[in-house]
Structure 1
Amino acid sequence: MKKTTGLLLTGVMMGSVLAGCGSNAEPAKTTEGGAGDTKQVTLKVFTWLSEETMHWNKILPEFYKEYPNIKVDVNVLSTKDDAHEAMKKLDLAAASGQEMDVVMINDSTGYVQRAKAGMLAPLDDYLKADGVNYDSEYKATTQMEGKYYALPGRLLTWFVMLNKQKLDEAGLAVPKEWTWDEFMEYSKKLTRGEGPSKQYGTYFHNWEQYITLALINSPQSNKLVTSDGKPNINNDRVRKSLEIANQVQNVDKSARSYADVISQKLAYRNEYFSGKAAMIPTGSWMITEAAGTDTVPAKFESVFAPYPKYKKEDPNGATLANIDYMGVFSGSRHPKEAYQFTRWYSTKGILAAENMLSSWTKADLNKMIDGMVKTGKNPEMVNKASLEHVLGTSAPVKIEAPPTYMSDASKRYTSEVEKYLLNKQDLNTTITNAEKSIQDVINLNN
């Protein structure tokens, strides 16, 4: 989940890489009849996700059954799935002229930056030739300025994961729908004891998601900068987000303080799986971990609740959505085959891994859940009924392509919010300063 802070490439560097690249082959219908092709090619795929996370050894054999003429050379760019490290190496590989065919990018900001820098080839002609109606095919969009430069990889949606034993001890039911106010009440009721042995109701990490909780599942304008390039700070949803964080961390003390999180470099997995925190707002990558891993066996049953609503009358199921972006490198020597792999991966490939959710609308939800749970060491510790309810009713909000300077805007916002959570300035000052600081970033980039 670490975010890349920006491109290492300059326009000149990228220009020098792409100047010698020929135009892509004329698109032809590609997703059917792949096995009939005889030309043997090897694709260089650059990704930030390891074998442990992605299960490439499950994915590739299934691909070869349909496309025996295409071999795939997977290049993992990071250690321990560190996206920040991987994106640096990806940019350096492009700048140095390394052969690449398919690239995976970890977040929307990085995707926009690299698409605008010319790293990715548009896929619209290929999709049209295949008769793909994007909006009916995928839950999450990758459209940027009217074109598609990538297809969605893993779908990461958010929910609340709860320790069933702690819920039962407090006499609390598994929520089927709830608001952030109700979440905070649960957090208070789940808090027990004092000192080193204290059990906290919840845990908030120091990611931006935990200081934009009521904003990021808004149907529109769910980022810190609006689609027309204005600060999206001085509004009720951002104010509520900060009030939530302050309430649980500083007022109710039903979560570790922000000061503890950053000074002790706390790990969110440890806080939940050790039983220090009874529940945690988190993402779907944690499903397999709730079923137990080699390093962290599951010692208690986890249940799942929907992402809380901003207000009671909001529609049910609205949740933050993130995706990986997989696209064809604009300098690929095998653009047709690179598209074939990208398209197959975004549909059948993710399902073959059996450990993640897919954006493909034709994917079987129950099979995905079964696959994710069975990969764990303790699958019986995942309450499948509550998980099926949450994922079956979830409605990922539309992913909007952010401006290229979003990382800078996020850092400015976080810097001001830290002062608020560390009791160095009040809420109104925080809102005012954050809005001004983000406006400065916008002015600089414009």
Structure 2
Amino acid sequence: MSKKTWFAGMTSLVIASGVLTGCSGNGNAVNTGAEASPSASAPITSGETVKLKMWGGVPPESGPQAVVDAWNKENPNIQVEYVRYVNDDEGNLKLDTAMMTGQDVDLFVNYTLSHTNKRIDSGFALDLSGFTDYNIEEKMGSDSENWKINGKFYGVPTTKSSYFVALNKDALDAAGLEVPKEWTWNELREYAVKLKTGDGYGFLQHIEPYADPLDSVLSQEGYTKADGTSKLDQPLVKSWLETLNGMMATDKSTPPLGEQLTSKMPVEQEFLSGNVPMLNIGAWLLRSSNNFTDFPRDFKIAFAPVPRLTEAASDYVTRGGLGDYISINAKSKKQAAAWEFLKWYADGGMAPMASGGRVPASKDADQATALDNLLGDKADTYDLDSLKYVMFENETPTYVRSLPQEVIDMRTQEYENYFLGTQSLDETIAKMVSRHNEFLKLNK
């Protein structure tokens, strides 16, 4: 299904909400993978009540609780409890520790390939190839290939992921600026200067997608050169570092990294309160921007693609595609029940998650219901043309971050030192390359 087809009916802002129905299917598929024990993969016995725990990073009130409530109502034999972990370093460690110590984790959501790979290596993510009653590639489309690891699926990618720059449309109009459909980081820098007022900032970023520009380049070119050494000295890496540092130190149009880290700056609140007119973030913004109780606002939000480092638009790829990769714990003794829930979730049971920007990826999901959940009664508070373009019509190729977590952490440490002013640009690049080369040697 094309993005344009998905968005058919957008101009009809009032869409009848579908009724979530729990259809667990009648196939008792058995996982025959090496990780599954006979008791773990045994079909569900009639009359037996199985209790599952699903761990995810989205607050329960932003969709997950409505999902499990709908399932539990229709499936008394399989009851699901949602456990929230925060999708940051501390939260991911909490999830990994829970699985390592044998706590109840039957399903869990991965948000990056790097975390997924670590969990596969630790024996936590189940190889799903033993389940033969659900074709993940057919359901989710060709982008699902990005989530194959060693030719296998260790989870189901369930959402269409979007990353974008959210814009205060009222502020843009007052400054005489258009909503971009494509732009570079240098052009965003100019917007940030024009939009800042007084001592305020023109642009903010959520920390999670901070380094996406680097990966938009290196995910395509490769992170290593022909001789197997690090490519973190690629010229566009230097360009990104210089541009962002210039915005912090020279233009003062975005906060210094040290200020953002030490203050734990609530970037979504800063944007939604109208203090800062541009925010680099992902579709999870909508769970806050639709919440007028906690985040009241009096301006319309527009959307622009994340800018590119390259001058040529034809060379650009953006982070996105499919996400929310849900795995079954290889140590769970309730894998058959977990699989029944996961199929239902992926094929449309997850529709309430759209209220937080999580659009179902499955071709069999009820897209009208998901769209209604996405917009709710706040459709008139968004610039619908730019929302439509960025989330559903933009044909820019996407990538899924696959860099090992150790390299991501190392790279982050070094560029943070540069932005904090404790080392020079050349020292930063040299250290990134040196530490990456050391990692490559140890992991041949």
Q: TM-score scaled to structure 1, two decimals?
A: 0.79
Measure how far apart 1:144 and its partner are. Answer: 0.9
Distance 1:311 1:156 in 2: 22
Partner-residue secondary structure (3-state), 1:200? coil
SS at match of 1:277: coil
What's 1:295 paired with?
A: 294
Q: Write the distance in 2 (CA, Å) between the matches of 1:173 and 1:272.
A: 18
Shift of 1:432: 1.2
Contact 2:139 2:363 in 1 (8 A): no
- 5 Å-filtered alignment, 1:400-411, equals 401-403=402-404, 406=405, 408-411=406-409
Q: Which amino acid aligns with 1:410?
A: I
Q: SS of 2:432's equivalent?
A: helix
- In structure 2, relative to structure 1, the CA distance for the partners of 1:175 and 1:239 (3 Å cut) is same
Partner of 2:4: none
1:302, CA displacement in angstroms?
Answer: 0.9
CA-atom RMSD in angstroms = 3.4
Structure 1, 297-306 or 18-27: larger mean CA deviation? 18-27
Instruction: Letter of the 1:372 partner, please give it.
Output: L
Structure 2 partner of 1:183: 188
| Distance apart, 1:123 and its partner CA | 0.8
Aligned counterpart, 2:59: 50
* 2:373 aligned partner: 371
Deviation at 1:226, TM superposition (A): 8.9
Match of 1:360 in 2: 362
Closer/same/farther in 2, CA of residues 409 and 61 from structure 1, 3 Å limit: same
Is 1:71 matched up with 2:78? yes
For 2:333, the equivalent position in structure 1 comes to 333
- Equivalent AA in structure 1 for residue 425 of structure 2: L
In structure 1, C-alpha distance between the alignment counterparts of 2:254 and 2:391, rounded to whole Å: 26
Is 1:201 the counterpart of 2:208? The answer is no
With over 3 angstroms needed to count, the CA separation of the structure-2 counterparts of 1:139 and 1:70, relative to structure 1, is farther
Map 1:235-384 to 2 at 5 A: 235-315=234-314, 318-321=317-320, 323-355=323-355, 356-363=358-365, 368-374=370-376, 378-384=378-384
Aligned counterparts of 1:362 and 1:111: Cα–Cα separation in 2: 25
- CA drift of 1:289 comes to 2.1
Letter matched to residue 201 of structure 1: G
Instruction: Report the Cα offset of residue 181 of structure 1.
Output: 2.0
Assess, with a 3 A threshold, how the Cα gap between structure 1 residues 176 and 95 changes in structure 2: closer, same or farther.
closer
Q: 3-state SS of the aligned residue for 1:139?
A: helix
Match of 1:429 among 427, 430, 433: 427
Q: What CA deviation, in whole Å up to 9, does each residue of 1:77-114 have, x standing for no partner?
A: 53xx3554443343333333345432333432221111
Matched AA of 2:63: M
String of CA shifts for 1:3-61, please: whole Å, max 9, x gaps: xxxxxxxxxxxxxxx9994476489xxxxxx9xx9454414123133311333224542
In structure 1, runs of 5+ residues without a counterpart are: 1-17, 28-33
Q: 1:209 to 1:422 in 2, by over 3 A?
A: same
Cα 1:219/1:143, change in 2 over 3 Å = same
**CA 387–364 in structure 1, closer or farther in 2 if over 3 Å, else same:** farther
**Residue type at the aligned position of 2:300:** E
Distance in 2 (CA, whole Å) between partners of 1:213 and 1:338 is 33
Q: Tell me, what secondary structure is at the counterpart of 1:148?
A: coil
Alpha carbons of structure 1 residues 97 and 260: separation in structure 2 relative to 1, 3 Å: closer
Structure 1 distance, partners of 2:159, 2:201, is 31
Distance 1:352 1:248, change over 3 A: same
Q: Is the 8 A contact 1:59 1:352 kept in 2?
A: no
Which residue is 2:436 aligned to? 438
Q: Alignment partner of 1:176: what SS?
A: coil
8 Å contact kept, 1:161–1:305: yes
Matches of 2:113 and 2:84, distance apart in 1: 19
| Alpha-carbon separation, structure 1, partners of 2:362 and 2:236 | 30
Q: Which one-letter code corresponds to 1:307 in the other structure?
A: V
1:133 and 2:133 equivalent?
A: no
Q: Distance in 2 between matches of 1:166 and 1:413?
A: 35
Amino acid paired to 1:439: N
* Greater mean deviation of Cα atoms: 153-162 or 353-362: 353-362
8 Å contact from structure 2 (residues 156, 327) kept in 1: yes
Give the whole-Å Cα distance in 2 for the aligned partners of 1:215 and 1:335.
38
Report Cα offsets for 1:139-192 as digits up to 9, x if no partner. 343211111111124443211111111111111111122222221111121122
Tell me, yes or no, if the aligned pair for 1:307 and 1:317 is still in contact at 8 Å.
no
Give the superposition deviation at 1:425.
3.2
Q: Contact 2:51–2:80 (CA<8 Å) still a contact in 1?
A: yes
Structure 1 residue 306, shift from structure 2 partner: 1.5
Evaluate the alpha carbon distance shift between residue 99 and residue 63 of structure 1 in structure 2; reply closer, same or farther with a 3 A threshold.
closer
In 1, Cα distance between equivalents of 2:49 and 2:123: 24
Give 3-state SS (helix, strand or coil) of 1:74's partner. strand
Tell me the amino acid that sits aligned with residue 330 of structure 2: S
Aligned to 1:121: 126
Deviation at 1:316, TM superposition (A): 9.1
Q: Contact between 2:175 and 2:194, CA under 8 Å: does it hold in 1?
A: yes
Q: Distance in 1 between matches of 2:416 and 2:139?
A: 38
Distance 1:244 1:146, change over 3 A: same
Work out the percentage of aligned pairs sharing the same amino acid: 24
Structure 1 residue 338: Cα displacement = 1.6
TM-score normalized by structure 2?
0.79
For the Cα contact (< 8 Å) 2:63–2:354, is it kept in 1? no
- Provide, for residues 278-327 of structure 1, a one-character-per-residue CA deviation record: whole Å limited to 9, x for no partner: 11111111123223342211231111112223334324984212722211
